[in-house]
Amino acid sequence: MAPQLQSQNQNSPRVLQGDLNALSAPVREFVEANVILCQPDAIHICDGSEEENRSILTQLEEQGMIKKLSKYENCWLARTDPRDVARVESKTVIVTQDQRDTVPSPLGGGASQLGRWMSQEEFDKAMTQRFPGCMKGRTMYVIPYSMGPVGSPLSKIGVELTDSPYVVASMRVMTRMGKAVLSALGTGDFVRCLHSLGCPLPLKQPLVNNWPCNPEQTLIAHVPERRQIISFGSGYGGNSLLGKKCFALRIASRIAKEEGWLAEHMLILGVTDPAGEKKYMAAAFPSACGKTNLAMLCPTLPGWKVECVGDDIAWMKFDQQGNLRAINPENGFFGVAPGTSVKTNPNAMATIVKNTIFTNVAETSDGGVYWEGMDQSLPEGVTLTSWKNKPWSPADGEPCAHPNSRFCTPAGQCPIIDPQWESPEGVPIEAIIFGGRRPEGVPLVYEAFSWQHGVFVGAAMRSEATAAAEHQGKVIMHDPFAMRPFFGYNFGQYLSHWLSMAERSGAKLPKIFHVNWFRKSPAAGFLWPGFGDNIRVLDWMFRRLNGEAGAMPSAVGYLPSRESLNLQGLRGDVDLDELFSLDQEFWQREVEEVRRYFSTQVNDDLPNEVARQLELLQHRVNQM
């Protein structure tokens, strides 16, 4: 007979799978305390097996939460409640004793753009309002998972308790999950993750698309001191797959600060030149800047090869030889579907044809998926059902797939996954790339003058984003290090932490670069072809790392010297003069914009060195 939970409650939940007594004392205490709080009907300790996965998918299908896609092998479609489609920044908080531990105090008061703080008292009250009895009638799944290869010295372990089988199926793709993780954990410490859909049974109101959620009560809270993540009311990926942004960035960045490493919103790629020499690079881009496309690049230069270690998150730590070693803590890709096509990212398209969970994409009548920007015409007679589960035609005037619709797919299926992607010691990073979508003023590529200047470049990152209100057109938003929604602690302290890397004895600091694939000419649209031709920029960086490519100093950094970019075989003309031109008035405005941001948002927490780098930039711009 399965062991029963010992508590005052005589109606203890049934244990459907696993053995509570076999859990380490800290894990068992964590489970038991939350069983008493959330009152599930049953407990299922996940083992990560194929058999378990099949059973979870079957259960989801029976509940109408997912649908099998007959066109592909083991692929599934989920449609969410339209109120639960994305991360909710306004309801995502960090809980610390002192507000300034979480965010800098903005000049003149007001709300910080660099995170949201919640007091311990407010958090306790929010927990009490939400969690008691929230899993009634449901099963609590216990998910032991490793961020990073199991047993790697760079990896960390979490345990997520959830009442969502969709989360179980997705976490099996996105993390290493199950028995092996519990063995590796032993009695060690772990990040405690509690997630509930906030829909106890019986339901008070009918579900939309059979998707349980509680948007009015949604809250995603992080308590760094306790290594704790609490999520309520949302079943959507970024809010419910707590290993992802919640652990791998917000909590991990705080752990990294304490332990002397970096947890970053960065892809990792391996680049091999025609002579067979290989280098690894990490890159941070805000959303809609082609991050996954770069991670899976198909080079247009003959003889070059790009391989993918990760497309979203990098954990980086200096080893004893002074090399900055990086792992991808994830096990899958949770990619935005719209815009992904055979043209923009053939490797992603090849990855997602099996063992993939699609969410909020459109469905074709022949059992396939579809979205905006797929660039494939539908076969004769094939019709579309939109993400809202309604027949769709272009005349509807709205997209068939939600703009934030996703594929959740195993990284190991990527045709160009790097042979070292699961290496326990990580891969050595020689270059860090920052970038954004800047239609004017910012050159295709430049190299920072120093590590300190590179940290400033990351801090000053800005990118074009569509404003939330429709008719405001495009606005340039600050997104420092592409981490703005993901900082786990005060951004000023984060900058100091980055700067401190230069003080490590023997550290081989990577070179830092900034790229902009998106510069436009008023007459001719994009000045640079992008996609596979971005290898030409990586080639210049590669040769810079070897001291081979020419560069000339400019106000913003080192620019490629004439003839140092390999344009051999490039289709169409590229106006290099316009692509690399620096306009003094533009850069004077840029300096003032960055100064305003630093003074209002980072205020007294801005490190002196970053302020000094801004003054140096201003001086160089004035000398132009």
For residue 8, pLDDT over 50 is answered with: no
For residue 356, pLDDT over 90 is answered with: yes
Q: Are strands 228-232 and 191-196 parallel, antiparallel or unpaired?
A: parallel
Q: Which two tokens stand for residue 439?
A: 């239609």
| Range with lowest mean pLDDT among 6-20, 68-82, 566-580 | 6-20
Q: Which residues contact 613 (CB under 8 A, 6 or more apart)?
A: 452, 453, 455, 456
Residues designated catalytic: 289
Percent residues over pLDDT 90 in the chain: 93
Distances 489 to 94, 116, 222, 258, 387 between C-alpha atoms, Å = 8, 10, 11, 11, 36
Distances 58 to 43, 48, 83 between C-alpha atoms, Å = 18, 15, 25
**H, E, C per residue of 272-294:** ECCCCCEEEEEEECCCCCCHHHH
Q: What share of the chain is helix, strand, coil (3-state, %, to 5)?
A: 30, 25, 45
Q: Which residues contact 87 (CB under 8 A, 6 or more apart)?
A: 236, 238, 239, 245, 485
Interhelix angle 491-500/451-459, rounded to 10 degrees, is 160
For residue 606, pLDDT over 70 is answered with: yes
Q: Could you tell me which of 339, 95, 99 has the C-alpha nearest to residue 220?
A: 95
Q: Which residues contact 231 (CB under 8 A, 6 or more apart)?
A: 193, 194, 195, 196, 219, 220, 221, 239, 240, 242, 246
Burial class (CB in 10 A: 0-12, 13-18, 19+), 99: middle
Q: 60-73 pLDDT, tens per residue?
A: 999 999 999 999 99
Q: 493-502 pLDDT, tens per residue?
A: 999 999 999 9
Contact 352, 359 (CB under 8 A): no
Interhelix angle 252-259/491-500, rounded to 10 degrees, is 40
Q: Which two tokens stand for residue 566?
A: 């390999």
For the chain, counts of helices (H) and of strands (E): 16, 34
pLDDT confidence band for 89 (50 / 70 / 90): very high
State the pLDDT at residue 288. Answer: 78
pLDDT confidence band for 9 (50 / 70 / 90): very low
For residue 106, pLDDT over 80 is answered with: yes
Average pLDDT of span 213-227: 98
State the pLDDT at residue 466. Answer: 62
Tallying the residues shown for the chain, one arrives at: 624
pLDDT confidence band for 6 (50 / 70 / 90): very low
Contact 520, 408 (CB under 8 A): no
Angle at 511 between CA 509 and CA 517, to 5 degrees: 150
Rounded distance, CA 409 to CA 412, Å? Answer: 9
Calculated CA dihedral for residues 166, 168, 173, 175, nearest 10 degrees: 140
State the pLDDT at residue 444. Answer: 98
Q: 557-601 pLDDT, tens per residue?
A: 999 998 999 999 998 889 999 999 999 999 999 999 999 999 999
For residue 472, pLDDT over 60 is answered with: no
Q: 147-179 pLDDT, tens per residue?
A: 999 999 999 999 999 999 999 999 999 999 999
Q: Could you tell me which of 191, 265, 196, 197 has the C-alpha nearest to residue 223?
A: 191
The pLDDT mean for the chain works out to: 95
For residue 471, pLDDT over 70 is answered with: no
How many other CB atoms are found less than 10 A from the CB of residue 268? Answer: 29
Burial class (CB in 10 A: 0-12, 13-18, 19+), 367: middle
State the pLDDT at residue 2. Answer: 36
For residue 207, pLDDT over 50 is answered with: yes
State the pLDDT at residue 11. Answer: 73
Q: 302-345 pLDDT, tens per residue?
A: 999 999 999 999 999 999 999 999 999 999 999 999 999 999 99
pLDDT confidence band for 1 (50 / 70 / 90): very low
Percent residues over pLDDT 70 in the chain: 97
Residue 18 is classified by DSSP as: S
Angle at 429 between CA 305 and CA 453, to 5 degrees: 115
